[in-house]
Chains A and B, each alone.
Chain A
Amino acid sequence: MLASKNNKHLQRFLTVAAGIVILAVVAAQLLSRSGAEASFDISAQTIIQGLLVGGVYGLIGLGLSLIFGVMRVVNFAHGDALTLGMFLALFMFNRLGLDPYVTILIALPVGFALGYGIQRFVLARLPEGVGNSSLLATLGIGLIFSNSIFLGFGAQPQSVNVPYAISTVNIAGVQLSIPFLVAGLITAISITSLNFLLYRTEIGRAIRATAQNSLGAELQGVNTRQIQAIVFGIGITLALVAGILLLPILGSVIPTIGENFLLKAFVVTVLGGLGNLSGAIIGGLFLGVVETVGASGQIGSIGLNAWRDAFGLTMFVLVLLFRPEGLFGKTVKRV
Chain B
Amino acid sequence: QDTIKIGAITSVTGRFAEFGKQQLAGFKVGVDEVNRKGGVNGKKIELIIEDNASDVNKGLAAAERLVNAGVPIVINEYSSSLVKAQAQYLARQKVPVLVVTSSGDDITKPGNDYIYRLNQPATEYARAIFNIFRDNKIKTVAMIAGTGAFEKSVAEAAVEIGKEYGIQLVENQSYDRGINDFRPVLNRIRGKNPDAVFMVSYAEDSVALMRQAREVGVKPRIFAGGAAGFALPDFIKGAGDAAESVVTATAWVPELRYAGTQKLNVDLTKALKGEPTYHAAQAYAGVIVAAEAIKRAGGTDREKVKAALGGIKMNTAFGPIEFKDFDGFKNQSPLEMVAQQVQNGKFVPVYPKSASPKPIKFER
Contacts and interface: CB of A to CB of B under 8 A. Distances in A.
Contacts of A161: 237-240
Interface in A222-247: none
A190 interface: no
Contact of A41 (B144, B174, B187): B187
A53 B211 contact: no
A132 interface: no
B238 A157 contact: yes
Contacts of A296: 184-185, 187-188
Contacts of B89: none
Query: Counting chain A CB atoms within 10 Å of each CB, which of B16, B175, B188, B242 scores highest?
Result: B188
A41 B184 contact: yes
A138 B212 CA distance: 33
Given A49-B184, A251-B238, A159 B207 contact: yes
A49 B204 contact: no
Interface in A276-335: 292-293, 295-296, 298, 301, 303, 305-309
Contacts of A256: 15
Main secondary structure of the interface of B (DSSP, over half): helix
B336 interface: no
Contact of B179 (A155, A167, A177, A260): A260
Contacts of A49: 183-184, 187
A298 B171 CA distance: 10
B181 A159 contact: no
A305 B175 contact: yes
Interface stretch (B214-222, B257-265, B327-335): B214-222
Contacts of B17: 154-155
B184 A305 contact: yes
Contact of A156 (B172, B176, B203, B205): B203
A289 B204 CA distance: 24
Interface in B66-115: none
Contact of B16 (A155, A158, A307, A308): A155
A110 B216 CA distance: 34
A290 to B, nearest CB: 11
Interface size class of A (residues with CB under 8 A): 35 or more
B180 A303 contact: no
Given A49-B184, A53-B181, A260-B179, A252 B208 contact: yes
A249 B205 CA distance: 12
B205 A252 contact: yes
Interface in B210-256: 211-212, 214-217, 229, 234, 237-240, 242
B18 interface: yes
A250 interface: yes
Interface string A154-174: 111111010001111000000
A292 B184 contact: yes
A295 B176 CA distance: 11
B178 interface: yes
A166 B180 CA distance: 14
A304 to B, nearest CB: 9
B178 A154 contact: no
A254 B17 CA distance: 13
| B18, B147, B180, B205 interface centre (most CB from chain A within 10 Å) | B180
B299 interface: no
Contact of B203 (A168, A252, A306): A252
A234 B331 CA distance: 59
Contacts of B183: 49, 53, 292
Nearest to A156: B18
Contacts of B174: 303, 305-306
Contacts of A41: 184, 187-188, 191
Given A303-B172, A305-B173, A46 B187 contact: yes
5 contacts: A154-B17, A157-B204, A157-B207, A159-B207, A308-B184
Interface of A: 41, 43, 45-46, 49, 53, 154-159, 161, 165-168, 175, 177, 249-254, 256-257, 259-261, 264, 292-293, 295-296, 298, 301, 303, 305-309
- Closest 6 pairs between A and B when the two form their complex, measured CB to CB: A157-B204, A159-B238, A252-B207, A260-B178, A303-B173, A295-B184
Given A301-B172, A308-B175, 10 more contacts: A53-B181, A157-B204, A157-B238, A165-B211, A166-B211, A251-B208, A252-B180, A260-B179, A261-B179, A305-B174
